[in-house]
């Protein structure tokens, strides 16, 4: 639930912090109340928000030393995937191709109409094609991958028609010819299947983390589950990879004849899941984004925060709660959160 919408004169950290506190004060949350009850501040990872020296979080930490500074888990997930694009050979080529598909259809109503006609003939549902692997929700990237997979034949047939269309310019026809060669290649199909299976897992994680009912404790369980699933993909391929491998053996995927294109830089199948798992563990299982904490042991701080939150999760409470339940945790570690604990 939103409290207010504030127009800022500039985007400096001091200005944001000043207007944020003024807004809270105007709604009855004065300084004395915030010192006792302000639990946490969460934002994306922009330097102006979480900068160690002069970010908004640092300013708030100076006023309220006990406040927990939290970098949005969804944003951390996107950064983990973004790092993967730079680390693993071949992913950037895959991303560039998918972005090219986006530009082809997003800027041309004619292309959208023609593709829709092909999809209708193939009894497929045409889906909106967007970007993948950018700094956006992982679920969005999966929806894009799913749209391309569902409309694979329609895309190939449309490119084949467009490259022979004399009403189009020579450069446009060459563009469609290049898109078709890549899309109908064995290398692209295998890479695409791997990305589909991976994006499916990341998309599920992203959607679950976005739910308002998701707690930090539950989010931690979700992340651990996703990492185990990604470990499983290293040993047992997902649903689309075997399908693509079978198509390559047959030389045909649906009605599309596959060809080998050695110019395509393929994704490293061994490095890809390993780096993704490492990035997730690094970005999600450490508290390095709890800036202003002045700690040299972010891992232990993250675990400490989880243990404090653990007692708040009713799923961890015993079936029959004794009269003194929660008192030990209260006396040992909970400070600003104490008003939430059963006493």
Residues written for the chain: 343
CA distances from 78 to 138, 251, 259, 279, 284 (A): 7, 35, 33, 10, 11
Per-residue pLDDT at 285? 67
CA distance 170 to 92: 27
Strand-strand pairing, 40-43 and 68-71:
parallel
Per-residue pLDDT at 299? 58
CA distances from 6 to 2, 3, 16, 173, 212 (A): 11, 10, 9, 49, 23
Contact in structure between 50 and 289 (CB atoms under 8 Å): yes
CA distance 328 to 187: 59
Buried/exposed 247-258: b ≥16 CB within 10 Å, e otherwise: bbeeeebeebeb
298-332 pLDDT tens trace:
556 677 777 777 777 777 777 776 777 666 665 55
List the one residue out of 128, 130, 126 whose CA is nearest residue 150: 126
Helix residue ranges, H only, 13-127: 13-26, 31-37, 47-50, 56-63, 73-87, 91-106, 109-121
* Alpha carbon of residue 71 to chain centroid: 14
CA distance 43 to 48: 10
The overall average pLDDT reported for the chain is: 80
pLDDT bin (cut points 50, 70, 90) of residue 276 is: confident
* Residue with token string 């653990």: 310
Whole-structure pTM value? 0.74
Per-residue pLDDT at 286? 61
Per-residue pLDDT at 74? 82
CA distances from 118 to 102, 156, 177, 259, 302 (A): 17, 10, 17, 22, 51
Average pLDDT on 58-67 reads 90
Q: Could you tell me the residue ranges of all domains in the chain? A: 1-71, 77-283, 311-343
Tell whether the model's pLDDT for residue 337 goes beyond 50. Answer: no
- Lowest pLDDT segment from 3-7, 189-193, 308-312: 308-312
- Other beta carbons less than 10 A from residue 203's beta carbon: 20
Q: What single-letter DSSP state applies at residue 338?
A: G
List the one residue out of 177, 65, 85 whose CA is nearest residue 132: 85
As a dihedral over the C-alpha atoms of residue 98, residue 99, residue 102, residue 106, rounded to 10 degrees, the angle is 180
DSSP string, 162-182: HHT-TTS-HHHHHHHHHHHHH
- Lowest pLDDT segment from 62-76, 176-190, 220-234, 276-290: 276-290
């Amino acid at each position: 639930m939103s409290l207010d919408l504030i127009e800022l004169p500039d985007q400096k950290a001091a200005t944001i912090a000043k207007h944020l506190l003024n807004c809270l004060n105007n709604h009855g949350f004065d300084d004395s109340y915030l010192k006792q009850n302000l639990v946490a501040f969460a934002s994306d990872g922009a330097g102006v928000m979480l900068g160690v020296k002069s970010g908004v979080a640092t300013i708030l930490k100076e006023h309220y030393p006990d406040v927990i500074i939290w970098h949005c888990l969804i944003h951390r997930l996107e950064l983990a995937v973004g790092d993967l694009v730079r680390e693993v050979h071949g992913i950037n080529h895959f991303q560039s191709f998918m972005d090219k598909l986006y530009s082809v259809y997003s800027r041309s109503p004619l292309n959208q109409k023609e593709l829709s006609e092909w999809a209708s003939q193939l009894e497929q549902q045409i889906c909106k094609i967007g970007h993948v692997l950018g700094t956006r929700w992982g679920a969005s990237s999966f929806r894009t991958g799913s749209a391309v997979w569902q409309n694979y034949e329609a895309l190939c047939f449309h490119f084949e028609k467009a490259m022979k269309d004399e009403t189009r310019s020579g450069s446009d026809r060459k563009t469609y010819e290049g898109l078709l060669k890549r899309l109908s290649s064995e290398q692209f199909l295998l890479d695409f299947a791997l990305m589909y299976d991976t994006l499916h897992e990341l998309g599920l994680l992203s959607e679950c983390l976005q739910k308002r009912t998701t707690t930090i404790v539950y989010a931690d369980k979700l992340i651990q589950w996703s990492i185990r699933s990604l470990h499983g993909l290293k040993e047992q391929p997902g649903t689309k990879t075997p399908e693509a491998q079978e198509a390559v053996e047959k030389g045909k995927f649906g009605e599309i004849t596959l060809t080998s294109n050695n110019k395509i830089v393929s994704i490293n199948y061994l490095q890809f899941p390993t780096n993704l798992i490492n990035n997730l563990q690094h970005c999600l299982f450490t508290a390095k984004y709890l800036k202003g904490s002045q700690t040299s042991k972010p891992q232990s701080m993250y675990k400490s925060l989880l243990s404090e939150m653990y007692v708040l999760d009713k799923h961890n409470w015993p079936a029959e709660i004794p009269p003194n339940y929660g008192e030990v945790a209260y006396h040992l570690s909970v400070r600003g959160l104490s008003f939430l604990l059963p006493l």
